[in-house]
Structure 1
């Protein structure tokens, strides 16, 4: 099935988002829709291998280009300056506006496409940094939009986020995109793309045996246990939503591209449990 590429204009924010849509699965009146947000550098087409699989899984996929990607509204020079060098308070306010725009896109897509109330938002990689303020932006929508989103969105997937997207201070890691020894511009981005998408030949996995990772009673692998610990501490509070962790064996950061079938099955399974 070929994917169309329409757009949604948010006139109050002077922002337009392009997206691709797999369309409603044939003969299905009640189906899950996954609204997909891409991360850094790799835009909406990172999801494209999944689109031909959507009808067989009786699901719909809508992959949006964030601002600065594809045909979506680019950032102005002033906005680019703010993002790179602005004060923290101004950048926080800007991030909140960006997240509000994405949530308004979700609301508009639900209305335009008459989506059944089984919508799942999927934020991959760096897009998770937008997912938090996106959820927080709901009270700033009109009452009608708030009701439409609340009655339609059944879950949010944080798909393989980096530590920085959680707002956690992690270990100091090498990133080609911040390596000042690599010329800026295309050369640095090409180096980042190669590093980001490569498959590494690791040593024997015996060194990763869970029984040898921790010599104390404290579990401190930040990528999983730290998040679980914080979430469990909040589960007793009335406003804390249920959160579950899922591991996709054999997949790397580009599971949607390299193993679209497994990724599609995982998302559909999550939607069916809601």
Structure 2
């Protein structure tokens, strides 16, 4: 028989399984394409000349990669949102970026995951560099306002907001001067601050509907965000509290101590008292990046337009 005439085969090098990894190939190509680009400063001037379109991008802090993201509709819109957020934080280094526009039939979220997988060691890195977690992809940098129910929760010590809390001493020169209703001033602050200001909604509060019609005199000279909040609280009756949490500001009729707060303001007689917050943080943990909408002009602020 044929089998008896064949020599004995002592090794198996003559056969193997072939696994085609389209994902790894795309990750390699995306990574290589990004490396060919020269990072540009993340500024309004640079972002404004970018064409619209979906794509992926990478942020750098002092030349080191810190974040990979995607825009399913418009790269400039997404990058502008990051620029606005970072302009209100104590970032001491230079933030720059590179971006790749994608073909219409390639969903932006898939390349983003491929690039993250490349950095985190899911796919072997052709450049021989060790796997690494991009810090801002794992600390809540891209997340939105968590909502009223989370205000009292302690922020994780490694959260972006704990590392880079909102800058209360940021100077603003755009607040309209003159005697104006508190509600109008709140709306202008909310629309223009580089971080969220959430406040009690008039549709849910008779007190807010009444008190937001009270007038406040806004000076014509520039002021800090801290001074602006003190001005608003001082124009409202006693019982209102403005609070600076690590990542945003809130204003409610309450007397509440927030563990992770930077500070809060309450009126006492004719004075506004600023009380330092405990600035307590929860243990560091992995923070899940939330999916984000990048529609033009979208902001998650939890407020409505105030009629005064």
Same fold (TM over 0.5): no
User: Greater strand percent: which structure?
Assistant: 2
Relative to the length of structure 2, the TM-score reads: 0.25
Relative to the length of structure 1, the TM-score reads: 0.27
* Rg larger in structure: 2
User: Greater helix percent: which structure?
Assistant: 1
